[in-house]
A and B are shown apart, each in its own frame.
Chain A
Amino acid sequence: MSDTVIRVENLSKRYRIGSSQGHFKYGSLRDSLANAVKAPFRRLRSSSDSLKEAPKHIWALKDVSFEVKRGEVLGIIGRNGAGKTTLLKILSRITKPTEGHVRLRGRVGSLLEVGTGFHPELTGRENIYLNGAVLGMKRIEIDRKFDEIVDFAEIEQFLDTPIKHYSSGMYMRLAFAVAAHMEPDILLIDEVLAVGDLAFQKKCLGKMEKVTQEGRAIIFISHNMNSISHLCNRVIWIDLGRIISDGNADDVISNYLKTQQSFFKNSKLKAEEWNIRNKSHKFFKEITINGISLPAEIVLKQKSELIIQIIGESDGMLLRNFRSGVHISSEEGGRIMTYGTPWSAIGDINIKGKVSLTCKIEGLPLIPGRYLISLGCSTDHGSLDWLENICFLTITPDKQNSSRLPQIYKTHGYFLTESFWDIEEL
């Protein structure tokens, strides 16, 4: 037999939306009774005919086809509402497709949430069994792995305490521990690793990597491009229920991040912000990053060169002791680092008229992700001009050239630098 363990063919899923959904969800019995006479006929027709396009429907998935082979780790990326979770729900048989079908070979384990079925009144021990059963584990299997699970969760002394008394960290650890000990042939994971404390998250990723080495197939949904990039060898990008691209992880991720950038560019806020500043600023006239003049979005491979060129003008005044800086913040807004004009140069730079400043950063040591660049300059009299969050900077992974670099997840910090290790047996 072939190595294909998941075969998805023309999969489509249609949902009702808008006001009709409200009706559909908690419809009143009266309305349905009123239609009861007509309903059987209508239903007969709609199931025999091809499905008619009703106005208040949305295709959460449309004609999605792909295959996954044994040992493959497939990442699925896309914006919120792109259809990722719907796909996973169909694959894990929680909901049925409207059209198309899927063939799965082997035992399927799905993890759309950790701690599904946990009951607050039950003890840790009891919940391990309950949750295990919910995840499709056999009792003997749980018995066998019980100690391992408790060990992994580090909750030994609270084993017989009802979990409603657990801290949220303990709760998550226990939930992960059970999930991490599933041994399916096909593992489907939604964004569940995003929670939990950092050290534990790492432990789970490690466990997952081990699972893939054992030849199981994994489908993994995440918004964290780092974990996707590290875990997956192949990525499918979905938007509006359709596959946009399917291929090598780094390529698909880079393409995806680029369009995400244009998405932000198109959003009015950014462009307007730039214009307002453009008119009112005292010094900055034109910014070019890596040859692209702003407003624009910058996409770089990790550890590559960043060149920022600034054209500024002083309105005829003499700017004494001019200083300038390139500030980089995380997407969440925290300042990460600043590249400033050197200390030694302060006091030396006096500017009059139009100038060009170029800041060159070699091998920008940031881990893949999205950042924001701000620019500022000042003189003796304090701050002169300030451009906050002038553009997005996206760093994409580059596995080929990272042999000397450590494997880093966002939880490890922001910086990616080489280090030299001597490991000797003693």
Chain B
Amino acid sequence: MSIETELVPTEFEESEILISPSQGLFSLELGDLWHYRELFYFLAWRDIKVRYKQTVLGAAWAVLQPLLSMALLSLIFGYFLGLPSGGVPYPAFTFTALIPWQLFAYALSQSSESLVADRNLITKVYFPRLVVPLSSVAAGLMDFAISFVILIGMLLLFRIPLSWRILTLPAFVLLALLCAMGVGLWFSALNVQYRDVRYALPFLTQFWFFATPIAYSIEIVPENWRWVYSLNPMTGVVEGFRWALLGTDYTIGPLVLVSSVIVLLVLLSGLAYFNHMEDKFADVI
């Protein structure tokens, strides 16, 4: 029971839609999602367009935020505390980690609020609800692209040589996005019913920030604590970025593998929960 994909204005189309009570856990209709890909595109485009409207600095915010964070973190952790950074200048060391983190944090907060923010769409029009959190995850890529250019500039400034490893970067970007999406699916669906999410999220993001080796190196974490760190998928992402751009010399293979498995689990469970709740959104939101 899928919808047609082509529009023939006056011809009658012989496709049938069946509307029936909610089915089991997994009734994910990918065809339906594909059919609404243009809506996905337009919603992401809207989020990007609207993002810096009526601001003086505009898209400069995308650069200012991580740069200021970088300055502060370098000052405290690099200069005051004198923490190790594997021979890399501290600003480059933290900035490399801050960029994927900002992507993740933005995507997570946007997608968690997305359903509630677009409640007027949810209650008035049909489309696969998954489009909403997915498009808000995508909108974060714009900021990422801008700050990535700054990052490359900084690496050149510090004369850090780029290697073939940079080609693996898209995989880590994807991992960050999927992680944000997985958690975002859980939170956006929970947020429809429990507005507690709105209050829990800033705290969680802050907590997560310090639980991820962004401001410091994973090397200062005691060996017997490392496995706990590896359970945090963002550790894999951040260390992956450093590996790809800064040429850190320790192996990150196992770490990335564990991160990927965990992201996959979160994503699948998030999809299942989202799907399970989807039918109730319009009634509850």
Contacts and interface: CB of A to CB of B under 8 A. Distances in A.
Interface of A: 1, 15, 24-29, 32, 70, 89-108, 110, 112-113, 116-117, 119, 121-122, 126, 129-130, 133-136, 138-139, 141, 183, 185, 214-215
A27 B193 contact: yes
B125 A117 contact: yes
Nearest to A24: B284
B49 A135 contact: no
Contacts of B122: 94
Interface string B1-43: 0011001011011111111111000000000000000110111
A112 B124 contact: yes
Contacts of A25: 193, 284
A90 B126 CA distance: 10
A101 B193 CA distance: 26
Contacts of B16: 103-105
A129 B125 contact: no
Contacts of A94: 122-126, 282
Given A94-B125, A97-B19, A121 B13 contact: no
A90 B121 contact: no
Nearest to B51: A121
A106 B9 CA distance: 11
A162 to B, nearest CB: 8
B19 A91 contact: yes
A117 B120 contact: yes
Given A24-B284, A116-B120, A214-B10, A97 B20 contact: yes
B219 interface: no
Contacts of A106: 12-13, 15
B50 A121 contact: yes
Interface string B165-195: 0000000000000000000000000100111
Nearest to B200: A29
Contact of A122 (B50, B125, B127, B195): B50
A29 B194 contact: yes
B14 A1 contact: yes
Contacts of B49: 121-122, 126
B194 A27 contact: yes
Contacts of B22: 96
A372 to B, nearest CB: 35
A189 B170 CA distance: 45
A185 B13 CA distance: 8
Contact of B21 (A93, A97, A107, A110): A97
Given A27-B194, A112-B124, A112-B125, 9 more contacts: A91-B19, A93-B17, A94-B123, A99-B21, A101-B21, A104-B16, A110-B125, A110-B126, A136-B125
A352 to B, nearest CB: 67
A93 B19 CA distance: 7
B54 interface: yes
A132 B194 CA distance: 31
A129 B261 CA distance: 39
Contacts of B7: 107, 138, 141, 183
Contact of B38 (A121, A133, A214): A133
22 contacts: A15-B283, A25-B193, A27-B193, A28-B196, A90-B19, A93-B17, A94-B124, A95-B283, A96-B279, A97-B19, A107-B4, A112-B125, A116-B120, A117-B118, A117-B121, A121-B49, A133-B41, A133-B42, A134-B42, A134-B125, A183-B10, A185-B13
Interface in B48-65: 49-50, 53-54
B125 A116 contact: yes
A26 B19 contact: no
Contacts of B41: 133
Contacts of B19: 90-91, 93, 96-97, 101-104
Given A92-B126, A136-B127, A105 B15 contact: yes
A104 B46 contact: no
Nearest to B16: A105
A135 B126 CA distance: 8
Nearest to A1: B14
Contacts of A130: 42-43, 46
A185 B38 contact: no
A213 B126 CA distance: 26
A214 B8 CA distance: 13
Contacts of A27: 193-194
Contact of B124 (A98, A100, A116): A116
Contacts of A104: 16-17, 19
A185 B195 CA distance: 39
Nearest to A126: B49
A116 B121 contact: yes
B194 A26 contact: yes
